[in-house]
Amino acid sequence: MRFTDVKKPAYILAASVAVLAASNAHVSWPTRSQAAQGDLWTTQAPSSTVSNTNPNVDINVAKLNQAFTDLAKRMSPTVVNIYTKTAVNRQRAPQFRGMPQDDFEFFFRRPFEDRSPREAQALGSGFVINTEGYIVTNAHVVRMAGKNADEIMVKFIGEDSSKGHAAKVVGVDEQTDVALLKLVEHKEGLKAAPLGDSDKANVGEWVVAIGNPYGHTHTLTQGIVSAVGRSLEGLRADFIQTSASINPGNSGGPLINMAGEVVGINTAIDPRAQGIGFAVPINSAKNVISQLVTTGRVARGFLGIGIQDLNDEIAGYMKLPNQEGVLVREVMPNQPAALAGMETYDVIRKINGQEVRSTKDLYKSIEKLPIGQTAEVEVFRNNDLKRLKVQIGESPARS
């Protein structure tokens, strides 16, 4: 997974000061006679802001600790550690051009080398969503080398020394990295993790992650929601970024708010840094989970168009009154949009009355619509608004 390098303006600032000093340039700073301290910074925090130096703020450390320990006791029984085994084919050696593969194998590898499939093992985390034994995790935890795991065992808290419980794959959605498992045999006394509303997750609020990092079972880490709406290459979700520590083995475990609700599925980290983890928002996973339970697969709506966001340059060139909507740059023949009369250079403004502000908005809106449903699409064309009736198709499977 690639991550964009982040430039650090602080380094540039420090370098600038060093150059000034080296060149004996005169730098004037405000003196007390030039500016009072009160003109340089604010010492009065807004009334709604908690400040460590504000004597009127009473932080009860005992109650804060109790909140975290209660959360651990309540949620840990809903979390499972997942262990998988998968038989994967050994890679064939690269072939020299012009040489038959069998001859290459004979001369450049041991002729009698074992070519049987090898067993790959993996570990991860997951959480129970109902008493029927359904468990949510990441697709990459239970799927390897293009196939589902041959053996899946899950362990609940306190079962470290046991073999665990067998589970089977109900379905996987690699586009969101979400998978659904189910216990093979019924287990009494299952506790389910309540699913929250990830759209209400606010930057700065406390969250905890529970999982199986490096095999350290049922580890709880604490952090905050660092950002929302993050994008990761190759995955379809607006990820929650968190500072709660996530490591290999945490994948598939829950990201939990202080109300004891799952708001995300811990999925990935930025390997260049510490404290930068990403979780699939639970609202994005809910539709996936529902479809996996019902059909074992995920079907997404499809219009059959290529689109791009508008900007000043495009809007000016096309003489558009504003940048509202997204531009249709391609209409695929014999696909839903084409059959409804959509044309290249149309600007999509609304879907079923909901404003479309970006390509991300449009994709999210269309993918959630039932296959076969007719949607009203408002487009701007030749200084006129047109409303098209489009029957939603099914998105081709992505390889």
100-154 confidence digits (pLDDT tens): 655 545 545 555 555 567 788 888 999 999 999 999 999 999 998 788 999 999 9
Give the span between the Cα atoms of 304 and 307, in whole angstroms. 10
Question: Does residue 8 surpass a pLDDT of 50?
Answer: no
Model confidence at 2, pLDDT cuts 50, 70, 90, reads: very low
Question: Catalytic pick from 243, 251, 365, 395?
Answer: 251
* Mean pLDDT of the region 52-71: 77
pLDDT band at 329 (very low <50, low <70, confident <90, very high): very high
- CA nearest to 308, candidates 363, 380, 227, 365: 363
The tokens of 87 are what? 């038989």
Question: Which of the given ranges, 82-96, 104-118, 186-200, 384-398, has the highest pLDDT on average?
Answer: 186-200
Residue 12 pLDDT? 30
CATH class of 301-394: mainly beta
36 — pLDDT class (breaks 50, 70, 90): low
Quick one: DSSP state of residue 195?
Answer: B
- Comparing 398 with 263, the larger pLDDT belongs to 263
Query: What does the pLDDT read at residue 318?
Result: 85
Q: What is the pLDDT of residue 397?
A: 67
Asked whether residue 377 carries a pLDDT value surpassing 50, the answer given is yes
140 catalytic? Reply is: yes
Closest CA relative to residue 329, chosen from 349, 307, 314, 309: 307
Angle at alpha carbon of residue 234, lines to 228 and 239, rounded to 5°: 10
Q: Report the CATH fold assignment for 198-295.
A: Thrombin, subunit H (2.40.10)
Which among 218, 262, 221, 223 is positioned nearest to 241, based on CA atoms?
Answer: 223
Active site residue 177: yes
Using DSSP's 3-state secondary structure scheme, residue 270 falls into: coil
Protein fold of 79-110+118-183: Thrombin, subunit H (2.40.10)
* The one catalytic residue among 125, 165, 173, 177: 177
Average pLDDT over residues 344-353: 92
At residue 379, the pLDDT reads: 93
In this predicted model, which residue has the larger pLDDT, 27 or 220?
220
Secondary structure of residue 73 in the 3-state scheme? helix
16 is catalytic: no
- Is residue 377 within 8 Å of 350, Cβ to Cβ? yes
Angle at 360 between CA 268 and CA 243, to 5 degrees: 30
User: Is 56 a residue whose pLDDT tops 80?
Assistant: no
Tokens of 48: 């709604």
With 0.85 as the threshold, say if the pTM is over it: no
For the chain, give every residue range classified as CATH 2.30.42.10.
301-394
Q: Where in the chain is the domain with CATH 2.40.10.10?
A: 79-110+118-183, 198-295
- The whole-number average pLDDT for the span 93-104 is 51
Residue 18 pLDDT grade (very low, low, confident, very high; cuts 50, 70, 90): very low
